[in-house]
C-alpha cells in the first residue's frame, strides 16, 4: 500500500487519540475507559489492515455481509463490533465474527442472537439500541419499552447485556447532541438502580466523528468513528 496513505492514517489516528485524551482530561476520566471503535464501512480490507498495523483492534461494521467478507481476510485477534441494523436472516452467518453487538434494536433480534449464540456455545456482549427524542435512528427501543423489557432481555442466556447505544442526530451540532448523550447515560443509571443484578451494565456506545468529544464528556465508553479516520484518503 501507498506509504502516503499509511502516514495519513497514522496522523488521523493520532489526532483522534489526542482529541479523546483531551476530552477525557476535561472530565477527569481515563482514556483506558473509552474504546475507539474504528468504523470501516467506507474502506476496503487493505486500509483496514493498515489500521491493524497501527495497533487498532476494534472495528465497527454496519452491514452483516461485510463481516463475513472482510472478517476472514483480517487477523483473528480483530474485534468486530456490529453497529448497524441486523436483518434476522443474516444473523447466523455473521455472528461467528462478532465480538460485540451494539445494535440490539428489537426483541425479535435479541431472542434470535441469543439463540444463535447458544447454538455455537457463546455468550455475546450486547448493547441495546435506544431511540431517543430528536434522534436520527430509525430503529431501537424507546426508553419506555426498555424499562418494560429489560428483565426479559437480561434473562436471555446467549446475551451478556453490557449497556446502551444511541445515534444522535446527524444534523444537530455537537452541543445539541449533548442532551441526547446525557439522556442515554441517565437511562443507564436508572436501569442499574432498578436492577441491581445487572452488574455488567455499564457501557454507553455514543459519539461519532463530529461529536465524540461531547460524548466522552457525557460518559461514552465506546465511540464509533469512521470518516474522521479516513480524511484525506481517496476511498
Ligand X SMILES: *Cc1c(COP(=O)(O)O)cnc(C)c1O
Min dist CB 85 to ligand X, Å, is 9
Nearer to ligand X, 39 or 204 (CB): 39
CB of 84 to ligand X, least distance (A): 5
Q: Considering the complex, state which of residue 178 and residue 228 has its C-beta at the smaller distance from ligand X.
A: 228
| Residue (201 or 230) nearer to ligand X, CB | 230
Which residues are CB-neighbours of 141 under 8 A, at least 6 positions away? 105, 106, 128, 129, 130, 131, 149
Rounded to whole angstroms, how far apart are CA atoms 196 and 199?
7
Q: What is the C-alpha to C-alpha distance for residues 15 and 24, in angstroms, rounded to an integer? A: 14
Residue 68 Cβ, how far from ligand X at the closest point, in Å?
Answer: 18
Closer to ligand X by Cβ: residue 111 or 136? 136
Name the grid cell of 221. Answer: 465508553
Nearer to ligand X, 198 or 230 (CB): 230
Could you tell me the smallest distance in angstroms from the CB atom of residue 209 to ligand X?
3
In the complex, minimum distance from the CB of residue 216 to ligand X, in angstroms, rounded to a whole number: 14
Place of cell 455472528: 95
Q: Applying CB under 6 A, which residues contact ligand X?
A: 39, 41, 62, 83-84, 167, 208-209, 224-228
Alpha-carbon distances of 160 from 125, 153, 156, 219, rounded to whole Å: 5, 9, 8, 20
Residue nearest to ligand X (CB): 226
- Residue count of the chain, please give it: 235
Amino acid at each position: 500500500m501507498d506509504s502516503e496513505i499509511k502516514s495519513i492514517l497514522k496522523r488521523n489516528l493520532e489526532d483522534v487519540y489526542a482529541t479523546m485524551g483531551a476530552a477525557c482530561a476535561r472530565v477527569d476520566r481515563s482514556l483506558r475507559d473509552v474504546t475507539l471503535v474504528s468504523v470501516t464501512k467506507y474502506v476496503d480490507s487493505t486500509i483496514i489492515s493498515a489500521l491493524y498495523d497501527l495497533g487498532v483492534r476494534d472495528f465497527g461494521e454496519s452491514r452483516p455481509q461485510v463481516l463475513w467478507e472482510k472478517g476472514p481476510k483480517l487477523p483473528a485477534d480483530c474485534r468486530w463490533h456490529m453497529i448497524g441494523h441486523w436483518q434476522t436472516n443474516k444473523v447466523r452467518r455473521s455472528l461467528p465474527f462478532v465480538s460485540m453487538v451494539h445494535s440490539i434494536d428489537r426483541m425479535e433480534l435479541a431472542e434470535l442472537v441469543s439463540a444463535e449464540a447458544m447454538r455455537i456455545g457463546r455468550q455475546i456482549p450486547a448493547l441495546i439500541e435506544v431511540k431517543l427524542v430528536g434522534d436520527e435512528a430509525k430503529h431501537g427501543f424507546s426508553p419506555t419499552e426498555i424499562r418494560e423489557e429489560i428483565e426479559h432481555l437480561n434473562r436471555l442466556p446467549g446475551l451478556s447485556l453490557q449497556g446502551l447505544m444511541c445515534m444522535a442526530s446527524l444534523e444537530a451540532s455537537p452541543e445539541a447532541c449533548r442532551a441526547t448523550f446525557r439522556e442515554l447515560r441517565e437511562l443507564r443509571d436508572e436501569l442499574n438502580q432498578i436492577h441491581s443484578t445487572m452488574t455488567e451494565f455499564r457501557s454507553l456506545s455514543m459519539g461519532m466523528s463530529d461529536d465524540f468529544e461531547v460524548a466522552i464528556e457525557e460518559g461514552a465508553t465506546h465511540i464509533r468513528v469512521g470518516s474522521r479516520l479516513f480524511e484525506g484518503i481517496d476511498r
